[in-house]
Structure formats: C-alpha cells, structure tokens
Structure 1
C-alpha cells in the first residue's frame, strides 16, 4: 500500500503555507472558512488523525464535527503528484482570526525538488522554480474561495509569521519579501510575489 500519512518523513521539514486573515473572529466563521477551503477540487479531506492512512479512517467535514486541532488531507499538486497537507486556525483577539493551510516539506519533497530547503546549501540550485509553481497554485486557491470567505489578506510562504508580515504592511509593501502577498481590493486582487528565494537558514559546516 502506498504510504501517505504514515511515511516516516511525511510531516517533517516545516510547512509551506497559505495563511488567510479571516473577516470575523468566531468559531462558526472559522469552521465555514475551513469547509470552503477543503472543498477546493485539488484537496481531499478532512481527516482527524495523521498517524492512520486516509483509507483507514472516516472523512469528515469541519461543519459536522468539533475539532480545535489540526485537520489533515491530501493535495493534488500542479504537477499531478500528491502531498499530505493540513490546516488549523486561531483567534488572536485584537490581532485577528487567521487560518493556516500547509504542505509539510517532507511530503512536498517527494513531488518537487525541495532538497534541503529551508537550509541554504551553496551546492544546490535555486528553489525559485518550485516555489513559484506552488505559490501561484496557492494564490489560485485563495482567489477561488474568496467569494465565500472574503478574507482580508492572504500570505504565502515558509512558516509564515503573519503578525510580523501584517505589522510591516502598516508601513507599506516591503520591496524585498520572503512571502508572497495577495490583497483583495474591491473584488479585484493585487498580487505581490515574493522577491527573496534564497533559503532563510544557513547550514554551517561542522568543524572536526
């Protein structure tokens, strides 16, 4: 049997994320947002456990069951291959209600040449091609579900610090960005793709 959820490294390596700032801070609003997100045609979910293969557990809807943790599923990627994926949300009061949908790099790396990312190895090629393909796909997902979610902001990138990104946006759009930004404006969208593709962490050579 092809292992998806239970592969040793499936959920490792950190997350490449689509993060949405929701228009309202409520559990009902978040559940509706989750249901809309997981209804996207390239996604199969949700499942409650990542230690059991999807074929061996029931598929559930965020509208039908209470779950304050993560929701898990399978994503069919732009190249036709699959990756495990997941989502969660949090209400941060004055800082807003945020929904995060993610692709673990351990699983994404079976479909794209993720290699050592987010670590910077000078001998490896730039991650820009696969980042652009995945980021564009996540942008398309966000645009597709916008009529139902009416999110305020979408941020795409590795392990997104949405508080920091939102704070910087108060000063304007940064000219150099680790993340891509999708900003709704009168039912249109302004897209700011990331400008920095060099992996954020340097792996130092260990001295013997």
Structure 2
C-alpha cells in the first residue's frame, strides 16, 4: 500500500462479526512497518512520553487518509464515537458520514 507521503508499507484488514453487537471492518497498518516509513514514531509508541498529543501531528494525516479509504467502503451505520479515542472513528450519524479523529 502506498501512504499519502508516497512511501510504501504493508497493511491488513479484518472483518469482525459480533454475535450481539455491530459488524465492523478493521483496516490497519502494522506499527513496525509504519515506523519504517515515519521517523517520528518512537520505539515506545504508543506507551512513551512522545505518544498521545505529541503523536497527533503525524497520526492525524494518516487517520484522515484512512478515513477517506473507509468512506468509500463503509456500510450504513448510525452512532456516536466514544469521548476518549485512541483511533479515529468514521461513523454515520443522523444520515451524515462523520470522521472524528483520535484524541488520546
């Protein structure tokens, strides 16, 4: 997969069908592979002092790019993301597809 900055990396995708919950699709970039393309990712991410708010500078562009991908393949769902988010959420809310970025 080619990232927005032009570097290439591997990716993965998992479809989850919960017995008593919503179906969802998890498209992801393995952290080790992503770290080879982004020098601002520290060895301790996501548990070191450079994680959280400092990491949002490189995470937001990637999250927005992933949200663009998701918007082309999403199923219609309705809901609201949680208040504390380690990942961005793309959800249909009141008939409008909304992206809410990570804040942790």
With the shorter chain as reference, the TM-score category is 0.7 to 0.9
TM-score (norm 1): 0.42
Cα distance in 1, alignment partners of residues 86 and 103 from structure 2: 6
Change (3 A) 1:126 1:173: closer
> Alignment RMSD, CA only?
2.5
Shift of 1:94: 1.3
Residue by residue over 1:56-100, the C-alpha shift from the partner in whole angstroms, topping out at 9 and shown as x without a partner, is xxxxxxxxxxxxxxxxxxx10010001111112232211232222
TM-score (norm 2): 0.77
Aligned length: 100
Change (3 A) 1:178 1:88: closer
Bigger RCO (CA 8 Å, 6+ sep):
1
Please, which runs of 5 or more residues in structure 2 have no aligned partner? Answer: none
User: Quick check: 1:110 aligned with 2:36?
Assistant: yes
Cα distance in 1, alignment partners of residues 33 and 10 from structure 2: 6
Provide the secondary structure at the position in 2 that maps to 1:182: strand
Question: Structure 1 stretches (4+) deviating beyond 3 angstroms?
Answer: none
User: Quick check: 1:189 aligned with 2:97?
Assistant: yes
Match of 2:61 in 1: 133
Cα distance in 2, alignment partners of residues 120 and 185 from structure 1: 34
Tell me which protein shows more strand as a share of its residues: 1
